[in-house]
Amino acid sequence: MRCSRLLLQRSNALALYRRSVNTWSAVGAAFNVQHQRLEPLQKNVGLFGVPELSGPAGFQMAQHQALREAEFLVHKACTHPPGAVTVETFDQLSDSLCRVADLADFIKVAHPDAAFREAAERTCVEIGTLVEILNTNVDLCQSLKNLLGNEAVLATLDSDTRRVAELFMFDFEISGIHLDESKRSKAVALNVKLLDLYHEFLSGSQLPNAIDKQVLPEHIRHCFSIDGNRVQIGGLHADSPNELVREAAYKIFLYPNTSLLLCLDELLACRHELATLVGYESFAHRALKGTMAKTPGKIIRATSRDFKMMKEMKKKAHTTNPEVMPWDHAYLSSAIRTEMFNIDPSVYSPYFSLGACMEGLNRLFMQLLGVYFQAEQPKMGELWSEDVRKLAVVHETEGLLGYIYCDFFRRPDKPHQDCHFTIRGGRLREDGVYQLPVVVLMLSLPPPSGRTPSLLTPSMVENLFHEIGHAMHSMLGRTHYQHVTGTRCSTDFAEVPSILMEYFASDYRVLSQFAQHYQTGEPLPENLVSRLCESKRVCSAADTQLQIFYAALDQVYHGKPQYRSTTDILREVQEKFYGLPYVHDTAWQLRFSHLVGYGAKYYSYLMSRAIASMVWRQCFLQDPFSRVMGERYRREMLAHGGSKEPVLMVQGMLQKTPTIEDFVDALVLDLNANVKSPAL
């Protein structure tokens, strides 16, 4: 019924898609007006419509239900003859646990109620522990071995089913399934210990550092949070025009925390011990190594030019230290852009109301893919905050594809991060009905106020497009198995769809479809977009070099043990790969939270950017609205999730096999070393 109802609304959506932004469609209005409260007498349907989650105690109920289902599915997998049903049962097992764990993983960071957050955290730990135990379950693994070792049965499986079976077997192998019982138990213990260390490190990496306020010059104390006689510094203040503020924030925020240094040491040691226990030379050998950091020569030459520009800019400020320091990078880059192109975010914001941006994305996806958004009214208890918006994603002929919950606005205690969370993966259920994907996009945008909608800076627009790219990857992947749905793919491919959307966000042909002044309807002048695009290339080589430094540090930390401090390693890698000096008594690595989620895989960001650049230039630069290319993009890249080798997806899209040199050249091409000032 729901699909039919939404399809009946298609003609209305197409009409709205052509409307001027001066008259908001349902999608534009949903984001540009203040939210209306739900009727309090409605029945509480639970978070995301999960009835058990109408209160914090419901997490334990959902957890117990998932554990009972897991027990049944493990028995089924171990007793059923090998065949496609084996893989389907494994995927059901994965889905039953992920449906609870993924939801809890989001709620533990986003829910404003501490009771919900704590209950979700406990559920994450319990299910995470069970997953590690299942990954060393000999009988469960044997059922998969019986399948993969039976050539006659394998011949009956389609390529996706065979790949998913191999991926499940890989999970067993890296968990040490081949070890004897005592070593398997040790592997489980190490994995469980790592879960605790991850939590400790991530929590510690976000905590502010405090210092006696008398240590700071009086004239800069007001720039920080003061608690009695202590100054709390919770960030780098990298955009401050005051060099002393930037320097103080850098040195204090990054001052070494002894307990967190020990935590990181233990985390890296546990990872290495686990890797060697299961037969790998190092933890980094479990992931594809980053090749970008090995060939930085072309980028380093452009970086030298950028740092020279920063030094000249710093001289103009008549500072006491003429050398460019790490705390200067972000500020001086911005200052150079402002001087060369006169970029003022406040000039752009009136043209980028959030509602207009969402309508622009609606138009773009309709043209490229025949997909549009439908604003939905959530039910009581479905949301964790009343300012969250719910979108149905609908295809013009296929009907409802899934749901996106948009947690876009700032609020107290909400994490200041832009990210995509999978709540439920798509898969073909046993009854033949497709389980629709559900995701959350979390941003930190200013909320609408009175008659003023949420107005976005250019960087906010780019972040919005980036995160929507992740969401559409989840929506448009129509894999048989949830284990490989949407963004559940190789790490060095997962960022490609999101980074590709950044190119659309910088193209005037795309922006001109929706960027109009929220009060006058005046279109965004093309010269403003040209300046903005040119400004992004200023100091981009230095920014890329910084990413190379991060990727190299990540690789060294997860390589063979160095038997020296993580700070000594940081100093050496920074001197080799960055270009700005290490600052004594700082430990930037303690703020490098990506070490947990991207361990030995941080290089993937650079790889994904190179691929996205090639896809944009070859497939969309000539016509960013090409339906032919849009359909090829979905068919060759988005539809497969992780069920197809990334290199094959890239080959299908580009219709050629790219080399490492192609990747490097794509990054260098994006730097556009010959940036010229526009005619003013």
- How high is the pLDDT of residue 414? 87
Residues 148 and 166: beta-carbon distance below 8 Å: yes
> Per-residue pLDDT tens for 239-258?
899 999 999 999 999 999 99
How far, in Å, CA of 609 to CA of 600, rounded? Answer: 17
* Poorest-pLDDT segment among 36-40, 212-216, 273-277, 308-312: 36-40
Give the distance from CA 377 to its chain's centroid. Answer: 27
Residue 554 lies inside a defined structural domain of this protein: no
Q: Under a CB-based contact definition with an 8 Å cutoff, are residues 80 and 102 in contact?
A: no
HSE-CB for 266 with a 13 A CA cutoff:
17
Instruction: Say yes or no to pLDDT of 417 above 60.
Output: yes
Could you tell me where the DSSP H helices lie in 317-452? Answer: 329-341, 345-348, 354-369
Spatial CA neighbour of 666 closest among 435, 442, 500: 500
Reading across the β-sheet that carries 225-227, which strands appear in turn?
209-212, 230-233, 225-227
Q: How far apart are CA 305 and CA 301, in angstroms?
A: 7
Most confident region among 7-21, 340-354, 359-373, 405-419 by mean pLDDT: 359-373
Per-residue confidence band for 291, with pLDDT thresholds at 50, 70 and 90: very low
How far is Cα 434 from Cα 478, in angstroms, rounded to an integer?
9
Strands 399-409, 389-395: pairing kind? antiparallel
Can you give the pLDDT at residue 467?
Answer: 97
Instruction: Decide if pLDDT at 294 tops 90.
Output: no
State the pLDDT at residue 17.
Answer: 36
Q: What is the average pLDDT across 330-357? A: 90
Flag whether pLDDT at 302 surpasses 50: yes
* 174, two tokens: 């890296």
Q: Is 445 helix (H, G, I), strand (E, B) or coil?
A: strand
Residue 642 and residue 51: Cα distance in Å, rounded?
31
Q: Which tens digit of pLDDT belongs to each residue from 420-429?
A: 999 999 999 9
Confidence of residue 298 (pLDDT cuts 50, 70, 90): very low
Sign of CA dihedral 297, 541, 313, 248: negative
Residue 403 has pLDDT above 70, yes or no: yes
CA distance 374 to 404: 10
Average pLDDT, whole number, for the chain? 89
Q: Report d(CA 593, CA 604) in Å as an integer.
A: 15
N- to C-terminal Cα distance for the chain?
57
pLDDT at 295 over 60: no
- Decide if pLDDT at 9 tops 50: no
* pLDDT value of position 607: 87
Domain boundary among 175, 199, 225: 175
pTM of the model: 0.87
pLDDT band, very low/low/confident/very high, at 57 (cuts 50, 70, 90): very high
Asked which of 5-14, 583-592, 593-602, 669-678 is least confident by mean pLDDT, the reply is 5-14
* Residue with tokens 């893919």, as numbered in its chain: 369
Mean pLDDT, residues 120-147? 94
Which two structure tokens, joined as six digits, stand for 107? Answer: 């709620």
Q: Quick one: pLDDT band at residue 8, thresholds 50, 70, 90?
A: very low
Give pLDDT, residue 41: 64
**Cα–Cα distance measured from residue 144 to residue 167, given in angstroms and rounded to the nearest whole number:** 11
Token pair recorded at residue 60: 């334990």
Structure tokens at 24: 């908001």
Whether the pLDDT of residue 1 is over 50: the answer is: no
Separation CA 130–CA 144 (nearest Å):
19
Q: What is the 3-state secondary structure (H, E, C) of 531-548?
A: HHHHHHHCCHHHHHHHHH
- What's the number of domains the chain is made of? 2
Model confidence at 678: pLDDT above 50: no
Cα–Cα distance for residue pair 195/342, rounded to 1 Å: 47
Q: Is residue 180 part of a domain?
A: no
In the chain, % of residues over pLDDT 70: 90
Measured CA to CA, the distance from residue 378 to residue 376 in angstroms comes to: 6
Give the pLDDT mean for 163-177: 92
Confidence (pLDDT) at 491: 84
Angle (deg, nearest 10), helices 297-316 and 660-671: 20
Rounded CA-CA distance 160/87 in Å is 10
Catalytic-role residue among 359, 467, 495, 636: 467
Q: Residue 565 falls within a domain, yes or no?
A: no
Evaluate whether residue 562 is within a structural domain. Answer: no
- Tokens standing for residue 170: 């890989």
Mean pLDDT of 37-51: 83
- Looking at residue 18, its pLDDT comes to 37
Q: Cα(100)–Cα(493) distance, rounded to whole angstroms?
A: 25
Beta bridge partners of 449: 452
pLDDT for position 22? 47
CA angle 646, 647, 649 (to 5 degrees): 65
H-helix or E-strand containing 603?
Answer: none
Task: Report the alpha-carbon distance of residue 391 to residue 135 in Å, rounded.
Answer: 36
pLDDT, position 7: 34
The full DSSP string for 456-480 is --HHHHHHHHHHHHHHHHHHH---S
Q: Which CATH number fits the domain that encloses residue 117?
A: 1.20.1050.40
Residue 142 within a domain: yes
Place of tokens 């559900």: 438
Number of H helices, E strands in the chain: 28, 10
CA-to-CA distance for 251 and 327, rounded, in angstroms?
Answer: 9
Closest by CA to 351, choosing from 506, 462, 461, 463, is 461
Which residues lie below 8 Å from residue 268, measured CB to CB, with a gap of 6+?
283, 557, 558, 566
Asked if residue 231 is part of any domain, the answer here is no
Domain end position, chosen among 147, 175, 203: 175
Q: What pLDDT sits at residue 668?
A: 82
CA nearest neighbour of 492 among 601, 597, 419 = 601
Please report which confidence band the pLDDT of residue 26 belongs to, taking 50, 70 and 90 as the band edges.
confident
Residue 192 lies in a domain: no
Domain-embedded: residue 21: no
Closest CA to 264 of 349, 338, 202, 356: 202
24 has pLDDT over 70: no
**Mean pLDDT of the 546-575 span:** 93
Cβ atoms < 10 Å from Cβ of 348: 22
User: Is 50 exceeded by the pLDDT of residue 680?
Assistant: no
Per-residue confidence (pLDDT) for residue 661, from 0 to 100: 83
The string of DSSP codes covering 521-534 is: -PBPPHHHHHHHHH
Coil/strand/helix, residue 629: helix
- Contact by Cβ (8 Å): 520, 637: no
In this prediction, residues 415-421 reach a mean pLDDT of 88
Give, to the nearest 10 degrees, the angle between helix 84-110 and helix 114-134: 150
Beta strand 399-409 pairing with 438-445: parallel
Q: Is 467 a catalytic residue?
A: yes
Domain that holds residue 649: 347-544+601-672
Instruction: Tell me: pLDDT of 376 over 60.
Output: yes
- CATH code for the domain of 466: 1.10.1370.40
Q: 3-state DSSP call for residue 228?
A: coil
The percent of residues in the chain predicted with pLDDT above 90, rounded, is 70
Q: Distance between CA 2 and CA 376 in Å, rounded?
A: 12
E strand or H helix at 442: strand 438-445
In 392-457, alpha helices (H): none
Return the closest-CA partner of residue 191 out of 281, 127, 99: 127
Which is it for strands 389-395 and 230-233: parallel, antiparallel or unpaired? unpaired
- Report the C-alpha gap between 150 and 157 in whole angstroms: 11
CA distance 468 to 612: 15
Report which of residues 427 and 295 the model is more confident about. Answer: 427
